Structure 1
Amino acid sequence: MEHILERFLTYARMDTESDPESDTTPSTAKQWDLANYLAEELERIGMQDVTIDENAYIMATLPATTDKEVPVIGFISHFDTSPDFTGAGVNPRVIRNYDGKDIVLNEEKNIVLSPSYFEEMRQYKGQTLVVTDGTTLLGADDKAGITEIVSAMEYLLQHPEIEHGKVRVGFTPDEEIGRGAHKFDVKAFGAEWAYTMDGSTIGELEYENFNAAGVKISVKGKSVHPGYAKGKMVNASRILNELISCLPEYETPEFTSGREGFYHLTSINGDIEHASAQMIIRDHDSTLFKKRKKLLRRITAELNHKYNNAIELEIKDQYYNMREKIEPVYHIVETAKEAMESLGITPIIKPIRGGTDGSQLSYMGLPCPNIFAGGHNFHGKYEYVPLESMQKAVEVIVKICELTAKKA
């Protein structure tokens, strides 16, 4: 497993944070560092048809080892990290033979990764954990997935006696800002279906996700001396606060779970003259998703009537629930499930409370269920990944390739 660990640490140390305010692809120039490294590494391990396009999308081929007609399948991960928390200067720490107790990430700042708060840590007692130093995220989302795909391809190249069909791999930028699939060339990829290695806990297997929309709110006010403001002042910050207060109080991420949707306020700024906010809307049910957007529009319209059209609202759909596209080809989920079970892994089939490149790709004609990559507590300083989970993910990829050929 040491080569898997070293590969992951190499990737994790590269800053690939994406930027939602940028209009380039990739959204940050620093993503090219890992993209170019990956293209060179794929060449080095013996992959064929390695390409990297002008937007940093990487594709490569593992040639078939059988003459049987086997469907071309693919594996996909993203190399950017979330802008929610800094990815600069990542300094991973390796905790071997984890004792099941608190891990002090940063003594100076008293930052502790504790199983009393993150209970799932207890299941990894005795394993090797990769953690942060408490000042950055780790980047297991989704550098663990990339590590697993590259390592699985390397293993299959080293073991040509394993029968499998042609396999395609793809690595994308900007998934964390919702653009990972926007410029992905499905036709050039040439697979019948694929799997994103972008889940969390070992055993996760997901084929349904949120319907998602992004929201921008802008309020224009008018500043007047407060002593003479009656009938004249328009306080943009107060109007924005009133709008947000009209949304259902408990339909937010911190009060919901499972298939429950939410409104999530991600940023807010303002003064008297101008106030703005961004939020996201999520729901697994398409009807409820539409109702959420309709409610926000109705609240805005009512407040605009009250405040003389002070509010501008923009709602943009980001991606949709891939279940509709996966269910007609459910055998691809069954193959992944069988692969896990054959390796002693209990499949955890559940909806994603989020989205992956796979949700967009499924609507672009490439059905893409999502498989665990092993990491936990993504997008923050408490992120960690067990090495043994990454090893199991590598084995799942290899087994899926075998089973696909066997069933052909």
Structure 2
Amino acid sequence: MENKQHIIDRFISYVTVDTESDPNSDTTPSTKKQWDLANKLVEELKQIGLTEVTIDENAYIMATLPSNVDFEVPTIGFVSHFDTSPDFSGANVKPQLVENYDGGDIVLNEEQNIILSPSYFDDLLQYKGQTLITTDGTTLLGADDKAGICEIVSAMEYLVQHPEIKHGKIRIGFTPDEEIGRGAHKFDVEKFAADWAYTMDGSQIGELEYENFNAAGVKLIFKGKSVHPGYAKGKMINSMLLANKFISKLPSKEVPEKTTGYEGFFHLHDISGSIEETEVQLIIRDHSMKKFKKRKKLIRKLVSKINKKYAAKFGDKIVECEIKDQYYNMKEKVEPVMHIVDIAEQAMKELDIKPIIKPIRGGTDGSQLSYMGLPCPNIFAGGHNFHGKYEYVPVESILKATEVIVKIAEITANRNK
């Protein structure tokens, strides 16, 4: 496979470019700086020998590795995003290399006493003896998802240099703004023209995912009446207390910090208000569509109860409720074409990687793409502790993910001989 140093250099050249996205922007990409890496990637794809390299006005990149066989093979795609999360700074990333990791504490930043410790992050112990790339404790790393981009570019370069490996047509796509939920919004599935694709955007080695949450956002506005507190008896309605009462009616054990696996939740993520008006923002998540609908129904039922109770006293709706679906479980779109998951699983097994097939407790561009007509499971990219200063990635995981891409291309061609 690829020269290890070559992969390290490539990955570092990506993470040192700041590509943080911005949820408050209405442009695509949401930040101008995302163009810096996008333009660099376009040049690199041309250099390694891909054809049909395009970038549109929204910075969506597509390219082709032409088939090298004379029989029909389905066109497969690989997709990653080049933006990084606005949850933590992505500016001035200074990656640190830890060679032959000994299983102990890693001092990220001596000055600020920031330590990456296996006593807290026990996943580290899987990577004893390997080379880790970490942050310097002041930024995120950006392995989410520049590891994915590095793997796709490296796999394509390898296939170009090794024509003896037979494969069909491969399409690759790089998107902006995935971290703010818009990565697939302007993705041209028709132009991409693949039968199916894989997002290289999972975490630890072996991850293979084709199920994710059904998701909705809820915005509630509670109204109130402000009266001098000394003379407020029977007159004041405190919207903050009303909101509090509403929240207390939600199932207390169905919250992110008390759920795992296939368990869904209600998550209160924002609340601000005064006596006269309080705004509450929640998200609803569930893998089961039936339970997802039930959760939305519960919110509406509670709202209707409060409105009924205060109808006479307030004279209008005291709570306004807006529920917006955000994305759906891609399982529904992937199950009819399960061979695409089987191929990825087979690729991992042939490379002595133990597949970890589990539901995503979140969303993925693949979910939106699946509903846009491009079935798109998710494969590991290798990183851990995304969106913060403790993020790291083992170089060996990047190398393995690169091999998985090559192997998927090979298996897909062999199945169609």
Do these two structures clear the TM 0.5 threshold for a shared fold by scoring above it? yes
Q: What corresponds to 1:139 in structure 2?
A: 142
Task: Say if 1:6 and 1:222 are closer, same or farther in 2 by CA, change over 3 A.
Answer: farther
Letter in 2 for 1:330: M
User: Which residue of 2 is the match for residue 299 of structure 1?
Assistant: 302
1:108 and 1:274 mapped to 2: Cα distance? 45
Shift of 1:380: 1.8
Q: 1:108 is matched by which residue type in structure 2?
A: E
Residue aligning to 1:381: 389
Greater mean deviation of Cα atoms: 201-210 or 3-12: 3-12
Matched, 1:399 2:413: no
1:329 is aligned to 337
Partner of 1:93: 96
Decide whether aligned partners of structure 1 residues 217 and 86 sit closer, same or farther in structure 2, where only a CA change above 3 A counts.
Answer: farther
Deviations 1:265-299 (A, max 9, x none): 22222333433232221111000011111111222
* CA distance in 2: counterparts of 1:124 and 1:397, whole angstroms: 21
Amino acid in the other structure paired with 1:5: I
* Shift in Å, 1:189: 0.3
Per the TM alignment, residue 14 of structure 1 is displaced from its structure 2 partner at its CA by 2.1
Aligned to 1:243: 246
Aligned residues between the structures: 408
**Counterpart code for 1:393:** A
Which residue is equivalent to 2:60?
57
Q: Using structure 1 for the length normalisation, give the TM-score.
A: 0.96
The alignment status of 1:218 with 2:225, answered yes or no, reads no
Q: Report whether the alignment pairs 1:196 with 2:199.
A: yes
| Counterpart residue number, 2:379 | 371
Instruction: Tell me what 2:133 maps to.
Output: 130
> Which digits, 9 at most, give the CA deviation of each residue in 1:73-94, with x for residues without a partner?
0000111222222323322222
Kindly state the Cα deviation for residue 379 of structure 1 after the two structures are TM-superposed: 1.6
Q: What is residue 45 of structure 2 aligned with on the other side?
A: 42
SS in structure 1 opposite 2:166? Answer: coil
Q: 1:261 aligns with which of 240, 246, 264?
A: 264
214-223 or 239-248, larger mean C-alpha shift: 214-223
Unaligned runs of 5+ in 2: none
Cα separation, 2, equivalents of 1:381 and 1:367: 33
Q: Distance in 1 between matches of 2:121 and 2:177?
A: 28
> What residue in structure 1 maps to residue 326 of structure 2?
318
**Aligned to 2:85, what secondary structure does the other structure show?**
coil
Residues in 2 aligned to 1:41 and 1:237: alpha-carbon distance in whole angstroms? 54
Name the structure 2 match of 1:182.
Answer: 185
Specify every segment of 5 or more residues in structure 1 that has no aligned partner in the other structure, as ranges: none
User: 2:234 and 2:113 mapped to 1: Cα distance?
Assistant: 51
Q: Distance in 2 between matches of 1:387 and 1:313?
A: 47
Q: What is the CA distance between 1:387 and its match in structure 2?
A: 0.7
**How far, CA to CA, are the matches of 2:257 and 2:161 in structure 1?**
46
Matched, 1:390 2:368: no
Aligned counterparts of 2:220 and 2:88: Cα–Cα separation in 1: 23
Give, in angstroms, the shift of residue 323 of structure 1.
0.9
Evaluate the alpha carbon distance shift between residue 32 and residue 244 of structure 1 in structure 2; reply closer, same or farther with a 3 A threshold.
farther
Tell me what 1:360 maps to. Answer: 368
- Alpha-carbon displacement from aligned partner over 1:312-369 (angstroms, at most 9, x marks no partner): 2221111111111111111111111111111110111111111111111111111111
Map Cα deviations across residues 11-48 of structure 1 (whole Å, 9 max, x no partner): 21222222223222222222222222211221122111
Mapped to 2, the partners of 1:371 and 1:385 lie a distance apart of: 15
1:206 is the counterpart of 2:209: yes
Tell me the alpha carbon deviations over residues 40-82 of structure 1, each in whole angstroms, 9 at most, x when there is no partner: 2211221111111111111000111111211110000111222
CA root-mean-square deviation = 1.6
Give the aligned residue type for 1:203. Answer: G
Structure 1 396/236 Cα, relative in aligned 2: closer, same or farther at 3 Å? same
Could you list the per-position Cα deviations for residues 125-173 of structure 1 after superposition, in whole angstroms to 9, with x for gaps in the alignment? 1111111222222211111111110111111111122111110000111
Range that drifts further, 49-58 or 300-309 = 300-309
1:157 to 2:160 alignment = yes
TM-score by length of structure 2 reads 0.94
Secondary structure of 1:87 counterpart: coil
1:78 pairs with 2:86: no
Cα drift, residue 228 of structure 1: 2.9
Structure 1 residues 9 and 247, CA, compared in 2 at 3 Å: closer, same or farther? same
Q: 1:3 aligns with which of 1, 6, 16?
A: 6
Q: Which amino acid aligns with 1:252?
A: V
| 2:236 pairs with one of 218, 233, 236 | 233
Aligned partner of residue 254 in structure 1, secondary structure: helix
Aligned-partner Cα distance in 1 for 2:161–2:335:
35
Pick which of 396-405 and 26-35 moved more.
Answer: 26-35
SS at match of 1:337: helix
SS at match of 2:25: coil
Whole-angstrom distance in 2 between the partners of 1:141 and 1:21 = 21
Q: Secondary structure at the match of 2:322?
A: strand
Letter of the aligned partner of 1:46 in structure 2?
A: G
Q: 2:168 corresponds to which letter in structure 1? A: G
Q: Which is further off, 236-245 or 387-396? A: 236-245
